[in-house]
Structure 1
Amino acid sequence: MSLAQTVRYSTAISARGCVFAMPGATVNQHVPEPQTPDAPQDDEQPDVIDRLTPMFYGDAENAKTFLQSIRGMKPTQITEKVNQLVGERKISDMSKHRDLWKVLSDCGIYDKSETNWNRQIR
């Protein structure tokens, strides 16, 4: 059955959590939101904190706080946060490039290229 036939015979269509009802149709059912994978939780992946800790001068609490603070951020916001923490001497100047990018990239937190990362990190 084609999409046009499906639309013609349906009373309501759900797309990305929105319900579009056809004229004269009554839709009173809840349509669940589509399931999307969330960013990994730090308590689900303690190895992420373990990998970040050396970059934070061995301070696991700062690594955990950083991981929580960047959850849901856009890539440019993440690099701005890293630059801020390097300026505050919470992230090692030696680790701010490839080492940190590699951990964040491997964990799916930062999905841009290493070149992009290095351009934005001061």
Structure 2
Amino acid sequence: MHGIANGVVALVALLHVYFLVLEMFLWDKPLGMKTFRLTSQRARDTKALAANQGLYNGFLAAGLLWGLWLGAAGFQIKLFFLGCVLVAGVFGALTVNRRILFVQGLPAALGMVLLWLG
């Protein structure tokens, strides 16, 4: 169970690295605009905000990777950062788009459950 839990934590971390890339570097490119359903004008107008959001996603990924790097001693760190991801996913679902709950929140919740079971 421990290995599966760490695999989910790693997946959540990689998802947040991907979100970082989308928001910081691809926001106004075809993939970013398609992913976030943006017009070119809206992408230009919100580019700085998206880059800031991407940076925060990078911090979440870094925290999860740090917890993985610490091994068993990283349990609380992994749990904390997964909790942060879960809260962000719920908030995003309530304020932006419901699918954020499934893309961001659900994997974090699964990771938390698996950590507790492991």
Length-normalised TM-score, structure 2 = 0.31
Larger Rg: 1
Between Structure 1 and Structure 2, which shows a larger proportion of strand residues? 1
Length-normalised TM-score, structure 1 = 0.31
Question: Which one scores higher on RCO, CA 8 angstroms, separation ≥ 6?
Answer: 2
Between Structure 1 and Structure 2, which shows a larger proportion of helix residues? 2
